[in-house]
C-alpha cells in the first residue's frame, strides 16, 4: 500500500458544503463577501475589453511574480487605500489569493519543529499549511485589543523562540477584534528584540473604517511580511492576492510560486484594469457602510439573545459565539431550525472549547440577521 | 538575518523573460501554444454567458476539488478525447494547471531522501518541486521509444527502491519522443512488482495523432496518477489542469489544494462551458494539423543544418539540439543573430551536457522555422 500524507478537512469547507445544498437557511457560515456587492456587469465588460486589447496575449502563461500591469496597480492600491508604502521594485508579489500566499510563505519559512505563535483562536485555513510544514503551533491569548503581546513577551522571556508570529490584527477571523496601536508597537519591538518574523494577514483592512496603521507600515526592522487580497473588495472567486515583503524573500517567493504557476492571466489583467479604472476604490464606501450596518445589527441581536457569550466584533465579518453545547453535534439541529454556522473548535490552538461557533455576517442580508440569531437561540432550547 | 529556503529560477522562465523584451527574434524558447490557435472571441462570449447565468455565484469561492460542472465536463473529455476511463466519483481533481498538480502531488507523496526516477532529460519545472520536497532525483536513459525500462529494471534489480517514477511518455518534453506500447507495459509491470507509483504527465495527448494508450488506461494495479491540462488545447493562461487518481489519494489532494485554493471560479465555469459547447473538441483537428506541419518543417530544417544532433521529435512542441558549444554562453550571440532557445543543461539529471538547447515550434510561424534554424547555424560559425 502506498504511503501518502493525510490531511484534515477545513471546518469552513465542511460547513460550506452543507450550506450549498440547503435553501431557506440563514447562512452564518460563509466567509464570502456579500454577493449583492460583486460588480458582475463591470467585470464582464472589463474582461471583454482586456481580451480585445491583448488578444491571445491575455491567455498566455502568466510569468513569475505577477503581470507588470497588475503589480503596478496593486502598488498604487496599497499606498492609496491600505496606506502601505511599498518599497522598491520586486517587493510586491501577486499570488492566487491570500490563502495561497500564506501557504507559499509556510513552505519558504517553516521547517519541521519550528515554533509558530498565533492568536488563539486563529484562522484554521492559514494555520493548517504551517502545520503541514511541520510547525509546532502555539496559541497566545487574544482580546478586543488583539493579540496579548504581554503574554507573548512572557513566553519569549521563558525561552520560547518562535520562527514566526502569524496575526490577523485588523478585523480578526474568527473574533472580529482590532489590535491596538500600542500592542502593534509592542509586537514589533518584540520581533526586533527576539528576531522573529511576523506574517500580517490583512484582507479586511479596505472594508474597515479608520483602522490603525498596519504593522507593515510601522515596521522599521524588516520583520513584517504583509498578505492581502482582492477577495473582500472585488470577488473571492478571482483568486487574486498579494504579498509585500523584502526583495530578497520576494524573489524566493516568486520562484516557489512557479511550482504552482496558478494565477490566471486574463484574471490578472481584469483586476489590473478594474483597479486602474477606479472600480475598486469606488466600491469601498458602500462596502464599508453595508458591512458596518450588518455588524451593528449582529451585535444588537447577540446582546439581546446571547449576552456576554460572543467576542466583541469591531469590524470584518466574524464573531465567535459560545453556544453552551457541542457546536459540532448541534449543527444538524441548528440547520433544522433554519440557520447554519461554522463549528469553531478547530480554530482554537490550546484549549479547544466544544461550544464555539463562528458567526459571519458577510453574505446574510441585514434583515435576516436577527431572525438567524433567534432561530439559533430557539434551536438550543431543550426539547 | 532570517533564514529561508533558496530556490533556482527555471531556465524556461529566464529565457521567456529575455524573449519578451525582444522583437524580430524567432522564438524557439516558448512552450506556450500557438497564439493564433487561441479562441479569444469564443472565450469572451462564454465568459459573458456564464456571468449572466450564474451572476455573483460565478465569482464566489471555488470550493474543494473543482466545481461539479467542470469535473463533469472533464470526465467526459477524458473519456472521449484522451481515451481514459475515469472510475468512480471523486477520482478527478481540478488543479490550476498540470504544474500545480505535480507540485501538490510532490507535497503529498515525497519526503526528504525519497528516491524519484525520471527520464533523463526531463521537464525542469516538474522536477524542481520534487527536489524542493527533498527527493533524490535519478535519471534513466530515454530514446525515441521513451524511457529505457530495461535500464530502469537493472537499477531496481540492483536494489534501488524509488518512491515514484515521473514520466512524460507521450510527446516528451524536451525530446519529443513517444514511449512505445511495449515499454509502457513493461513499466507498469515493474511498478507492480517493485511497488512504486508512476506520475504520467500527459498534456500533449490531445494534440498527438493516434498516440499509444495512456499508462493510466493500461494500469491494472492502481500504480498510475495521471496529470493533464487545458493549456495546450484551449489556453495556458487559464490555469486549468486536472489529475486522475484513486479516490483515496484524490481526497487528500483536494484537501491539500485547499491550502492554495487557487483555481479561479469564473475560469472553471468558462472551461466547463467551452467543453460542453464542443469548442475544445472542434479545435483539435486544426491544432494537430498545424503542430505536425511545424514539426515536419523543423525536422527537415534540422536534418539539413544539424544532421544527427537533435532528438527525434515525433510529437508535441520540443526537440533537444546539441549545438556543440556552451548553450548558456551562446544565447546572447544567438539572440544577436535573431533567434532564441532555452539552454537545456538543467533539464538533464545525471550528466549535464553544456551544449544542449531546447527548441520549440509551439509559437513560431511555419514559415519562420527554417529561417530560425539557419540563424542559429550562422550564429555558431567562428567569427
Distance from CA of A378 to the nearest CA of B (A): 30
- Nearest-by-CA chain B residue for A191: B2
Q: Which of B105, B264, B342 to mutate to test the interface with A (most CBs of A within 10 A)?
A: B264
Of A10, A48, A57, the CB nearest to B258: A10
Burial A105-139 (b: 16+ CB within 10 A, else e): bbbbbbeeebbbbbbbbbbbbbbbbbbbbebebbb
Q: What is the pLDDT of residue A3?
A: 77
Mean pLDDT per 10-residue run, chain B (383 residues)?
81 86 91 93 98 96 93 97 90 97 98 97 97 97 98 98 98 98 98 97 98 97 97 96 96 96 97 98 97 98 98 97 97 96 97 98 97 98 82
Could you tell me if B169 and B202 are in contact, meaning their C-beta atoms sit under 8 angstroms apart? yes
Q: Which of 70-99 (B) contact A at CB < 8 A?
A: 96-97, 99
Cβ–Cβ of B10/A128 closer than 8 Å? no
Q: Which residues of A touch B16 (CB under 8 A)?
A: 61, 63
Q: What is the pLDDT of residue A2?
A: 61
Distances (CA, A) of B18 to B226, B231, B368, B377: 33, 22, 19, 20
Cβ–Cβ of A258/B57 closer than 8 Å? no
Q: Which of B107, B134, B262 to mutate to test the interface with A (most CBs of A within 10 A)?
A: B262
Q: Are strands B318-322 and B339-340 parallel, antiparallel or unpaired?
A: unpaired
Q: For residue B222, what is its C-alpha cell?
A: 492502481
Cβ–Cβ of A55/B32 closer than 8 Å? no
Distance from CA of B300 to the nearest CA of A (A): 29
Burial class (CB in 10 A: 0-12, 13-18, 19+), A246: middle
Q: Are strands B339-340 and A92-95 parallel, antiparallel or unpaired?
A: unpaired
Could you tell me if A253 and A93 are in contact, meaning their C-beta atoms sit under 8 angstroms apart? yes
Query: CB-based contact (8 Å) between B35 and chain A?
Result: yes
State how far the Cα of A82 lies from the Cα of A363, in Å rounded to an integer. Answer: 23
Structure letter (DSSP) for residue A278: T
Structure letter (DSSP) for residue A59: G
Q: Which residues of B touch A265 (CB under 8 A)?
A: 237-239
Query: CB-based contact (8 Å) between B247 and chain A?
Result: no
Of B58, B197, B236, the CB nearest to A60: B236
Q: Which residues of A touch B267 (CB under 8 A)?
A: 264, 266-267
Of B4, B51, B109, the CB nearest to A4: B109
Q: For residue A111, what is its C-alpha cell?
A: 521547517
Q: What is the pLDDT of residue A175?
A: 98
Return the closest-CA partner of residue B86 out of B70, B74, B97, B103: B74
Structure letter (DSSP) for residue A352: -
Q: Which of 178-197 (B) contact A at CB < 8 A?
A: 195, 197
Could you tell me if A99 and A127 are in contact, meaning their C-beta atoms sit under 8 angstroms apart? no
State how far the Cα of A243 lies from the Cα of A225, in Å rounded to an integer. Answer: 7
Cβ–Cβ of A264/B52 closer than 8 Å? no
- Calculate the CA dihedral of residues A23, A27, A31, A32 and round it to 10 degrees: 50
Could you tell me if A266 and A47 are in contact, meaning their C-beta atoms sit under 8 angstroms apart? yes
Any bridge partners for residue A92, and if so which?
Answer: A244
Q: Complex ipTM, two decimals? A: 0.96
Q: What is the pLDDT of residue A168?
A: 98
- 3-state SS, residue B137: strand
Across chain A, where does the E strand assignment appear?
A: 26-27, 92-95, 115-120, 136-143, 146-147, 164-167, 197-201, 224-229, 241-244, 318-322, 339-340, 342-343, 356-360
Q: Within a 13 Å sphere around the CA of B200, how many CA atoms are in the beta-carbon half?
A: 28
Residues lower than pLDDT 50 in chain A: 1
Domains of chain A by range and CATH? 11-31+283-379 (3.90.1150.10), 99-196 (3.40.640.10)
Could you report the per-residue pLDDT of A218-263, keeping only the tens digit for each?
999 999 999 999 999 999 999 999 999 999 999 999 999 999 999 9
Amino acid at each position: 500500500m502506498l504511503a501518502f500524507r493525510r490531511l484534515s478537512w477545513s471546518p469552513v469547507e465542511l460547513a460550506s458544503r452543507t450550506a450549498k445544498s440547503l435553501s431557506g437557511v440563514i447562512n452564518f457560515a460563509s466567509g464570502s463577501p456579500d454577493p449583492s456587492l460583486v460588480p458582475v456587469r463591470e467585470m464582464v465588460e472589463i474582461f471583454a475589453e482586456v481580451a480585445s486589447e491583448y488578444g491571445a496575449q491575455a491567455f498566455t502563461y502568466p510569468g513569475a511574480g505577477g503581470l507588470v500591469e497588475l503589480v503596478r496597480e496593486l502598488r498604487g492600491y496599497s499606498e492609496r487605500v491600505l496606506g502601505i508604502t511599498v518599497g522598491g521594485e520586486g517587493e510586491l508579489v501577486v499570488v492566487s489569493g491570500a490563502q495561497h500566499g500564506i501557504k507559499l510563505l509556510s513552505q519558504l519559512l517553516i521547517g519541521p519543529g519550528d515554533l509558530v505563535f498565533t492568536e488563539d483562536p486563529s484562522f484554521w485555513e492559514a494555520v493548517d499549511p504551517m502545520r503541514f510544514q511541520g510547525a509546532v503551533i502555539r496559541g497566545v491569548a487574544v482580546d478586543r485589543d488583539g493579540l496579548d503581546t504581554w503574554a507573548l513577551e512572557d513566553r519569549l522571556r521563558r525561552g520560547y523562540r518562535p520562527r514566526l508570529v502569524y496575526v490577523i490584527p485588523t478585523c480578526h477571523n474568527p473574533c472580529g477584534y482590532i489590535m491596538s496601536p500600542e500592542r502593534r508597537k509592542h509586537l514589533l519591538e518584540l520581533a526586533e528584540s527576539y528576531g522573529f518574523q511576523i506574517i500580517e494577514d490583512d484582507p479586511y483592512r479596505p472594508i474597515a473604517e479608520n483602522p490603525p496603521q498596519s504593522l507593515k507600515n510601522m515596521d522599521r526592522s524588516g520583520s513584517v511580511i504583509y498578505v492581502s487580497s482582492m477577495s473582500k473588495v472585488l470577488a473571492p472567486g478571482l483568486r487574486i492576492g498579494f504579498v509585500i515583503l523584502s526583495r530578497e524573500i520576494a524573489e524566493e517567493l516568486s520562484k516557489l510560486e512557479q511550482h504552482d504557476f496558478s494565477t490566471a492571466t486574463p484574471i490578472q489583467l481584469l483586476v489590473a484594469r478594474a483597479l486602474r479604472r477606479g472600480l475598486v476604490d469606488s466600491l469601498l464606501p458602500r462596502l464599508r457602510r453595508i458591512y458596518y450596518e450588518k455588524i451593528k445589527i449582529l451585535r444588537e441581536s447577540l446582546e439581546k439573545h446571547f449576552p456576554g457569550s460572543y467576542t466583541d466584533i469591531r469590524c470584518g465579518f466574524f464573531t465567535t459565539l459560545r453556544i453552551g453545547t457541542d457546536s459540532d453535534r448541534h449543527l444538524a439541529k441548528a440547520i433544522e431550525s433554519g440557520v447554519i454556522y461554522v463549528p469553531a473548535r478547530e480554530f482554537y490552538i490550546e484549549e479547544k472549547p466544544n461550544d464555539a461557533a463562528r458567526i459571519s455576517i458577510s453574505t446574510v442580508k441585514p434583515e435576516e440577521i436577527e431572525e438567524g440569531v433567534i432561530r439559533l437561540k430557539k434551536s438550543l432550547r431543550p426539547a
